[in-house]
Structure 1
Amino acid sequence: EEPGSRVKLDILPYVVTDPNHPDRDDELGIAVPGALWYKRPFKLHRNIGYNNMPLVCPTSIGKRCPICEYKQRLLKEGKDWRDDSVKALKTYLRNLYIVVPLDNKNYEERPYVWDISDHLFQNKLSIELEENPEYANFPDLEDGYTLRIRFTEEQFGKNKFADTSRIDFEKREKKYDESILDKVPNLDEVLVVLPYEQIEAKFFDSEDDAVTDVDKAIDEVVDEIDEDEDDEDVEPRKAKIIVSKPKLAVADGKCPYGHEFGRDEGSYLECADCIEWNACADAKDELGG
């Protein structure tokens, strides 16, 4: 996404294989193993270790994280939650999507993995789906919709960034064959999550870690998948995708105390007990605050 740009893309589903998918809802059959789903949320730690690398938080796949545990220990020992040493350990919520760019001179019309901040896209998409539930089946292979997205250039301080300002839904010009599910990447397997011990070693700047550093926390662009690969352990459900009513606890970007969401984070006493503190802090960081 580029500031001031407009893009058209189709978001495609994938077959969920991770039993600990963050969006899992057994009652509605959402994001359970074997079901089709359109996004893979994950949490990211930034600037970890001597080389300031990003690391996918193991809680993204239901495992323990030494960084999160250390943060909780600091808080229990009396460290102020607004202290920079505590805030530096926070996680950033992001999402992976499988997208097919349309009418784009820079990208071929084939599946890519798109990684973007939850605040800068998914929150806006959730609002649109809340107001226009008739588009909830947008990722469906046969009856889905193309998303036309407008990105505006925003600035906070010296930092400029692209923010989603508008999302329109258009009926797709073509249907996707079910066979594409065998070719698109499995978003549950795209994330690179290091073992607990390796993260601990990197976090405490241990140079005795013999494991090669991971250059990127996730693969941003996935090459075409070998059609002969057969790594599916779960039989996919061929039913329509069920998109639940979006959870908008923070998606509307409103402070429950009436302050400015994403800008006033940490400025008031009530911030310490606010249930939206993490989301507000994420938004502030995205704004360059």
Structure 2
Amino acid sequence: MKERYERLSGGFHNEVFYDKNDNRIIRISANCKSAEEVHQELQWMDFLHRNGIPLSKPAQEIELDGGLVKAHFEFVRGNPVDVTNPAHWNERNFEQFGRILGRMHALSKEYRIENNRRPVWTKENPDVFGIKNDLAGWLEKEYDRLMEDLQPYKLSLDTFGLIHNDFHQGNFIVRENGEIVVIDFDECACNWFAQDLAVLFYHAYWQQDSFIGETEAFSRRFMHHVFSGYQSETELHPDTIAQIPIFLKLREIFLYQLFRRKWDKAHLEDWQEYTLEDLKRKIKNREPYAGVEDFSAYL
């Protein structure tokens, strides 16, 4: 008799299973997440779903099991985004990525959380990613410098709110009809909108560079269509555009620290060793990600 539960992934933070009997996804969150924190994630997802965002619809009930939090989601039939598949990786979908994100940010401007338990960026405590205390001295210095670069910007509903915080093609499912569905809201936080745009570009460029190449033309084409889709749903504030390079460098630090913590440093594969050294070099040299310093050129 086949097992009822199929393990889909053991990610960096969660265990995810497919329940074949109930045709749903079960996510078991790490014990660093409280029930209240997970419940606020599910409430926000429900709000987004009711207002037209294509996502894996959550059940509002959660289960507590020995300090772990179990949440249930609709199973979305489709495939992960394949950057080598022209049916997935094309200008129509790039615009769709931007349109979904723009709609999410427009809805974020309307949404209010009571007794917030989600991570939040503040001028007094900007460590929204919760990694500062674990960073080596040189890395903490770079992290603080980038967070300091955000200080002059004014917090407003046009630039800041509850966001996905990990919005990239690895968290999209493509249905048979071509619709993009967003999954994995586990990292959602009150943060600058530029974070979502930066993460989207970061991972798109990384995969394009790894599998296809032609990166210079890709950067312009990808972001032009993302911005076009985004602006069809909400205003793209000049401050948000200006902040994207800052959040790209913060993404490098976040990933470098995450990989160092999760990978077995005594048994690194060649690509893992290269990735760590490449990230370290780019962070230390303060290289603009993808060589782009001004994203307004892609409007």
TM-score in same-fold range (> 0.5): no
Which has the higher relative contact order, 1 or 2, with Cα contacts under 8 A spaced 6 or more apart?
A: 1
User: If the length of structure 2 is used for normalisation, what is the TM-score?
Assistant: 0.23
User: Looking at CA atoms only, which structure, 1 or 2, has the larger radius of gyration?
Assistant: 1
Higher strand content, 1 or 2: 1
